[in-house]
Amino acid sequence: MIPRFNDARDWFFRQRFGMFIHWGIYAVKAFHEQYQWRMHIPSAEYVKLAGQFNPQQFAPEAWLDLCQEAGMEYICFTCKHHDGFCMWDSKFTDYNIMHTPYGRDVLALLAKACHRRGIRLGLYYSCPDWHCPSSLNFGGDHQLPRPNPGDRPDLLQYVDYVKNQVRELCSRYGEISEFFWDIPPGVNFPELNALIRELQPAALINDRGYGPGDYDTPERHIPPGEAFSRPTEACQSVGRCSWGYRHNEDYYSPLFLMQSMDNILARGGNYLLNVGPDAQGCIPSEAQEILRRIGRWYKGVKESFVDTEVCTLPGQPGSDFLVTRRGSTFYLHFLQGFQSSGYGLPAFRNLPQRAVLLNTGATVPTDLIVLPQIALTSPEPRLHLYGLPAGQALAEVPVIRLDFAESIP
């Protein structure tokens, strides 16, 4: 079992599925959230996008409707990405949402809607900043190859800038549940995380900032191992190429994302799934449909992740499925679908009171048989599941629930 914090941060272990939102002036170009860096755009040209950003269709309630349809329980919003543009009314730079044709505090509107509807709000903040004159641009990871004309790189001055903005974000927008730093800066300034903890005691802090954080953040991959030993929040985007809005994006299939999500949740982690609204503030229809499809699956199998622990069944060969457990109830997660029409479970010597495919509510046939794979050493009858739809193209990850009369060691 992953250790708990035993304080207000423990919401993280109950609300496991969140929505990541990458949105900024880069949406105007419909290419990538790192458009400035990847396309070698001079800063003097890139900043002109602020004058074109006027998301008249931005409706936070529509975002939250989709969030809830998908079964998500919190949001993490990109307040400032690497380009340094601030999506809130920051008093420490004019390079913010108030100096666009839109001229309204996007974060304030989103925060108000989240708090009204009981959806937790997390904030993303990039450590690199391609606009702030004091930000250090050493040419390292996600940094400009050289300072902009007129820049005066100064680490301590930049940390003061970051501290001032953190104070704004953590004191003006109600309760914050997560602070997501991005791109580890390679320097340690403990006072930054301490400030977040002082102002927002319920906020978890991730592992990509200016000091040790509360949780790990694997991105676009499944870490090895059977279970997480630390609080973990994996992040993935619905699009293969970009996190921000991209015209003609290459979208992952809902099934691929369900497999990724189940693999993380079943091992004790959280899952943060990203969408990128366009320049008008609308989440693309393709992304909406993906989230709705995932939501229909997730709501049907969610119980297999809630208050469960990772379980290894003794004598279970291969890795056809993952197992989670709550007392005498076991859940089998078939990430690749049913590879055969039946499965022997050597760990169980009794029939379950109930066996059901959570996805459909259908009863799964069971019997007790001598399993050939263990007959030489254990000839006693063991549990057998059969009649499963192997070979059929399944559009989602199947999860089987087994309820036994009493707890099994």
**380 by DSSP, 3-state: which?**
coil
Domain 311-403 has CATH 2.60.98: no
The string over 259-288, giving b where at least 16 C-beta atoms fall within 10 Å of a residue's C-beta and e elsewhere, is bbbbbbbbbbbbbbbbbbbbbebbbbeebb
**266 by DSSP, 3-state: which?**
coil
Domains 8-302 and 311-403 share a fold: no
Alpha helices in 118-270 (DSSP H): 155-171, 190-199, 254-265
Q: Which is the CATH superfamily of the domain at 8-302?
A: Glycosidases (3.20.20.80)
pLDDT of residue 376: 82
Give me the residue spans of the domains in the chain.
8-302, 311-403
What DSSP character marks residue 158? H
Greatest alpha-carbon span in the chain: 80
pLDDT of residue 251: 98
Residue 239 backbone dihedrals phi, psi, to 5 degrees: -105, 140
Q: What is the pLDDT of residues 232-288, one digit of tens each?
A: 999 999 999 999 999 999 999 999 999 999 999 999 999 999 999 999 999 999 999
Distances (CA, A) of 343 to 93, 177, 246, 334, 360: 61, 42, 43, 11, 19
- Identify the bridge partners of residue 325 per DSSP, sorted by sequence position: 309, 330
Taking a C-beta distance cutoff of 8 angstroms, is the pair 221, 191 a contact? no
Residue type, 83: D
User: Could you tell me the pTM of the whole model?
Assistant: 0.96
Q: Which regions in the chain score pLDDT beneath 50? A: none
Name the one residue in this structure whose structure tokens are 């006027």: 54
Q: What percent of the chain has pLDDT above 70? A: 98
Residue 74 backbone dihedrals phi, psi, to 5 degrees: -155, 165
Question: How does strand 17-21 pair with strand 74-80?
Answer: parallel
Q: What is the pLDDT of residues 317-364, one digit of tens each?
A: 667 899 999 999 999 999 999 999 999 999 999 999 999 999 999 999
pLDDT of residue 409: 56
Distance CA(351)–CA(168), nearest Å, equals 58
